[in-house]
């Protein structure tokens, strides 16, 4: 269970609401190792889920300093790719996801297995 006081949740939430999503997305993308380091990207109500080619390129300290990011949770390895979940302030996950896709031109990377949206990840549709 996440201790919201420990992560200073309210500071993150109120700072994250008014910040420029495009600049945050650019910083997130850089902290994740760039667009070429992403294997998969999806979101739900409070999390961005990313699978990375090379997790040594991840700048965890930078991610944790960004305003809407409440916590960085390391997941299990999926084959040779490492999975991470970025817990973000409520109401920011979808807009950050869309800003990341736009900032990194990630829709051009479909052929590498980058899935857009939780529905596509759950049901396996790549249309």
Write out the catalytic residue numbers.
44
Which residues, other chains included, contact 111 with Cβ-Cβ below 8 Å and sequence gap of 6+? none
- Helix (H) or strand (E) segment spanning residue 64: helix 60-65
**What does the alpha-carbon distance between residue 82 and residue 84 come to, in Å, rounded to a whole number?**
7
Q: What are phi and psi of 44, to 5 degrees?
A: -130, -160
SS3 121: helix
């Amino acid at each position: 269970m996440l201790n919201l006081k420990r992560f200073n949740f309210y500071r993150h939430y109120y700072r994250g609401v008014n910040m420029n999503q495009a600049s945050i997305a650019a910083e997130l993308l850089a902290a994740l190792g760039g667009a070429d380091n992403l294997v998969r990207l999806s979101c739900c109500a409070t999390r961005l889920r990313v699978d990375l080619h090379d997790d040594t390129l991840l700048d965890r300290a930078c991610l944790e300093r960004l305003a809407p990011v409440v916590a960085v949770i390391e997941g299990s390895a999926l084959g040779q790719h490492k999975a991470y979940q970025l817990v973000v302030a409520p109401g920011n996950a979808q807009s950050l996801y869309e800003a990341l896709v736009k900032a990194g031109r990630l829709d051009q990377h479909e052929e590498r297995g980058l899935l857009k949206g939780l529905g596509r990840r759950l049901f396996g549709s790549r249309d």
